[in-house]
Amino acid sequence: MERLRSSPLHANISTALDKHLETIHVVQARRKDEIVSASSRQRHGPPRCQDERVVLALAVALRALCLATRKVRTELWCAFQMTLPK
């Protein structure tokens, strides 16, 4: 889009994209933690409290990803609107 406009986009757009990528990495890490927790539970029995914390951390990360996705979609829509010819 920057090439189409021949000028850089607003700094908020790149910040939103960076935040979105960061939240994706956090969700991936929490999901890996959940998988490890689930596999260890099958081997050693049910330590329920730890499992609930892992699942809760994943839910919080997914909520942050949802919010970041909404924001980045809005930012990209604005960038697209600025890119269109007048």
Task: Give the number of domains in the chain.
Answer: 1
Task: Round to whole Å and give the CA distance between 64 and 83.
Answer: 28
Residue 47 pLDDT greater than 60, yes or no: no
Instruction: Provide the whole-model pTM.
Output: 0.79
Task: Round to whole Å and give the CA distance between 19 and 25.
Answer: 10
Residue 20 pLDDT greater than 90, yes or no: yes
Containing structural domain, residue 45: 9-83
Of 19-23, 25-29, 76-80, where does mean pLDDT reach its minimum? 76-80
- Mean residue pLDDT across the chain: 86
Query: According to the model, what pLDDT value does residue 63 have?
Result: 98
Task: Round to whole Å and give the CA distance between 80 and 44.
Answer: 52
